[in-house]
Amino acid sequence: MGAPARQQLLEYVPLASVWTGEDAELLEKLLSFYPRKRPQRILDATVNGGRFWRGSKRPVIGMDIEPAHRPAVVGDNTKMPFRAVFFDVVIYDPPHIPNQGRDKTKDFNTRFGLGLRSPKEKGYTFAHTYPPFVEEAYRVLKPEGILLCKITDYIHDHRYQWAHVDFVQAASAVGFRPCDCIIKIRKGPIIDPKWKVAHHTRRQHCYWLVFRKSEKCE
């Protein structure tokens, strides 16, 4: 074994495909694991309250469409106010579970942008927002840049909504290479109190998907 390979082996920290901890801790691991060089410019395209960056010293630009969250950039991630080939990493944690109604016991709506609605002609899902986002993410990323997406499947309109499949398809269609998938397990499922009896399993996990703007993953 040559000296560079030996050095690489000494520095190597494996990453498991199942995660039970906090997002911020996982994200730090992902940012150390996937980029080929230490990322200089990171965009969080759905920053909300910035929970992903608690305790982080990473140079992050936080963007959100909702000014009330006081992001560094108020903007729409389907029409990003950035030049092409600018970022090393883009992070995306889109709203999920559309049309939650007005249950005042849930502050999820304001905290996580879950109060957004999706019309009938869009199938009551947010899948239609993925293609314009991934097109922009691809444009602003440098070659070999990384897109990290936290995404949750859910039951809506009496159907299983395959959000992670929709997202992989949308990202692949604009040229991203889908490279990895980490399953994040929650302590318990998010349950809408309205549904006492569910005919699907209660969702207790989500995915962190890893894409590269490249022909190859490794």
Ligand X SMILES: C[S@@+](CC[C@H](N)C(=O)[O-])C[C@H]1O[C@@H](n2cnc3c(N)ncnc32)[C@H](O)[C@@H]1O
| CB 172, CB 213: distance < 8 Å | no
CB 183 within 8 A of CB 205: yes
152 binds ligand X per the rule CB under 6 A:
no
**Residue 202 burial (10 A CB sphere; 0-12, 13-18, 19+):** exposed
Angle of the 130-140 helix axis to the 163-173 helix axis, nearest 10: 50
Query: Is residue 184 a contact residue for ligand X (CB under 6 A)?
Result: no
The nearest distance, CB 162 to ligand X, in angstroms, is 18
**Stretch of residues binding ligand X (CB under 6 A), selected from 43-51, 117-125, 178-186, 196-204:** 43-51
Residue 153 found at the interface with ligand X (CB under 6 A): no
Q: Return the range that interacts with ligand X (CB under 6 A); candidates 91-99, 163-171, 173-181, 186-194.
A: 91-99
Contact set for ligand X, span 49-88 (CB under 6 A): 49-52, 63-66, 69, 76-78
Which is nearer to ligand X, 53 or 211 (by Cβ)? Answer: 53
- Closest alpha carbon to 146 in 66, 77, 209: 209
> Residue 24 or residue 214: which is nearer to ligand X going by CB?
24
Contact criterion met (CB below 8 Å) for 202 and 191? yes
Residues 6+ away with beta carbon under 8 Å from 133: 45, 77, 78, 92, 94, 170
Number of residues that bind ligand X (CB under 6 A): 19
- Judged by CB under 6 A, which stretch of 9-17, 41-49, 181-189, 208-216 contacts ligand X? 41-49
Per CB under 6 A, residues contacting ligand X are 46, 48-52, 63-66, 69, 76-78, 93-95, 112-113
